Amino acid sequence: MHEMSLCEAIIETAEKQASIQQYKSVKCIHLEIGELSCVEAEAMHFAFDAVAKGSIADGATLHIDRVPGQGWCSQCEAKVKIKQRYDACPICEFYPLDIRQGDAMRIKDMEVI
Amino acid sequence: MCTVCGCGENEEQGHEHHEHAHSYDHDYSKGEAGVHVAGLSQSRLVSIEQDILAKNNSYADANRGYFAQHGILTLNLVSSPGAGKTTLLTKTIEALDSAFPISVIEGDQQTANDAKRIRATGVKAVQINTGKGCHLDGHMIGHAMGDLKVKDQSLLFIENVGNLVCPAAFDLGEAHKVVILSTPEGEDKPLKYPDMFHAADLMILNKTDLLPYLDFDVQACINNARRVNPGIKVLQLSATTGEGMDNWLNWIKAAREFSLIGSLSIGEA
C-alpha cells in the first residue's frame, strides 16, 4: 500500500507550496501516473481521501491521467505502445525495449483558492 | 471554475459532463469574496510539475552523497517475506569475519526479532518498525544512520521490509538493490513483480539446496529476470548450506573496493 506514502508526499507538497504560491486550500490535484509505474489509480483515490483529511487538501478531488507506456524498439527504430515493462515489440517481437514513457509519477498542477 | 477540466464555465446552463465528482460547491457567492462575478473564478491553477517522489529522492540523494564521501558501501536487500534475507545476512556477516566494519538497518512492520538475530553476530543493528508502512524510505535511513554512527569505509546492509512491490519505488541512496528470490517461490516472480527486478542490480537465487525437491527451472527464472532487466547479474546460492556463498562474498568485496575509490576519506589519507 505504497499509495498511502505517495499520497502523504502529495499532501506535503501541497502544504509546502501553499506559502510559496500563496493559497489557503486545494480543490483539485492533477496527477500524471504512468501505466508502467507501480501505482493503482483506485488505491490512490482510496488512500488520498484518508490522508487528505484535516490537511490543506481536505475534500479535494484527485484527477489521475494515466500516461500510456511507450518503448523504443532499436530493431524497428520506432516508438511502440507497451502494456508491461517487459513487453516485446509488437511489430518484430524484439526485446528488451527502451522505456520512453509511462513509468513516471508526477504532480502536474493544483487548483487552489 | 475548475481550471483542470473546465467545468463551471457554463454552470448556469446546468451540466452533466463530469466524469469525476467535484466535492465543492459551484455557487461562488458563498465563497470568500462573497460575490459572483461572471468569468472570474476565485480559484486558480498553480503549476507544480514535480515528481511525487521528489522529497524521498532528495533524502536519498543526501544519503548517497554521504555514502560516497565516506566510502561506505550500502546494499539494499529486498525480497518477498520468507525468501531468506536475514539468514543470508547473518551467514554473510559471519563469513566476512570482521574483515571490515559492518552495520545493519533492519526494516520490518513489527517486532525487533531480526535486529536481535543480527546483533547476535556481533555487528551493530538498528530496527526500524514501519508500522502500517510497507517499505523503508530515504528519510528513515538518514535517521537510522545517525543512530548507528556508521563508520567510514564500512559496509552498510539495509534489510528492507519483505515486499516485492513498494520498496522498488523508494530510493534509499543505496549503491545497489539486491533482490533475493528463493527457489520455492517459482521462476515467474520477475515477471509478476517487474519493477523490483528492473530496479535491482543483482539477483540472488537463494535456497538452491531445495532444487532437487522442486519443479523450478533455473534457466527460465534467469531468462525472466533478464527480460525485465537485461543487465541484472545473477548468483545462485544456499545461505543454509553455504553452497555458492563465495561468489556473493567476492561480489561484496569487489563492490566495496569500488565504493572506496574516490571517496574523501581515501583521498585525504
Q: Which chain A residues contact residue B189 at CB under 8 A?
A: none
Q: What CATH number does residue A102 fall under?
A: 3.30.2320.80
Q: What is the DSSP letter of B205?
A: E
Average pLDDT across chain B, whole number: 86
Q: Which of A6, A86, A106 sits opposite B50 (nearest CB)?
A: A106
Helix (H, G, I), strand (E, B) or coil at B161: coil
pLDDT band of residue B42 (cuts 50, 70, 90) is confident
Residues in Cβ contact with B44 at an 8 Å cutoff, skipping those fewer than 6 apart: A23, A111, A112, A113, B3
**In this complex, is the C-beta atom of A65 within 8 Å of any C-beta atom belonging to chain B?**
no
Express each pLDDT in B229-269 by its tens digit: 999 999 999 999 999 999 999 999 999 999 999 886 554 54
User: Structurally, how many domains does chain A consist of?
Assistant: 1
Q: What pLDDT shows up at residue B39?
A: 54
Residue A57: which domain range? 2-112
| Fold observed for domain B54-267 | Rossmann fold (3.40.50)
Q: What pLDDT shows up at residue B132?
A: 76
pLDDT (average), residues B81-102: 95
Statement: residue B97 has pLDDT above 80: yes
The amino acid at residue B161 is V
Residue B17 or B235, more confident: B235
Kindly report the pTM of this predicted structure. 0.84
**What's the rounded Cα separation, in Å, for the pair A104 and B55?**
15
**What's the rounded Cα separation, in Å, for the pair B234 and B173?**
22
Express each pLDDT in B124-169 by its tens digit: 999 999 887 889 999 999 999 989 999 999 999 999 999 999 999 9
Residues in Cβ contact with B267 at an 8 Å cutoff, skipping those fewer than 6 apart: none
How many CB pairs below 8 Å do chains A and B form together? Answer: 115
ipTM score of the complex? 0.88
Which residue does chain A place closest to B165, by CA atoms?
A38
pLDDT band of residue B69 (cuts 50, 70, 90) is very high
Q: Which chain A residues contact residue B191 at CB under 8 A?
A: 86
Distances (CA, A) of B265 to B32, B48, B72, B132, B262: 58, 39, 10, 38, 9
Distances (CA, A) of A50 to A43, A45, B114, B118, B129: 11, 9, 31, 36, 22
Q: Which chain A residues contact residue B166 at CB under 8 A?
A: 1-2, 5, 38
Q: Which of B44, B132, B230 sits opposite A112 (nearest CB)?
A: B44
Nine-digit cell string for B244: 555458492
Statement: residue B19 has pLDDT above 80: no
Q: State the helix-helix crossing angle for B138-148 and B54-70, rounded to 10 degrees.
A: 30
**In this complex, is the C-beta atom of A68 within 8 Å of any C-beta atom belonging to chain B?**
no
**What's the rounded Cα separation, in Å, for the pair B214 and B30?**
68
**Which residues in chain A come in under a pLDDT of 50?**
none
Contact assessment for residue B230 and residue A96, using Cβ atoms and an 8 Å cutoff: yes
Nine-digit cell string for A93: 517481437
Give me the residue spans of the domains in chain B. Answer: 1-46, 54-267
Mutate to test the interface with B, among A20, A21, A38 (most CBs of B within 10 A): A38
Statement: residue B178 has pLDDT above 90: yes
Residue B253, CA atoms < 13 Å, CB-side half-sphere: 12
Nine-digit cell string for A5: 506514502
**In this complex, is the C-beta atom of A50 within 8 Å of any C-beta atom belonging to chain B?**
no
**What's the rounded Cα separation, in Å, for the pair B25 and A27?**
10
Q: Which chain B residues contact residue A21 at CB under 8 A?
A: 46
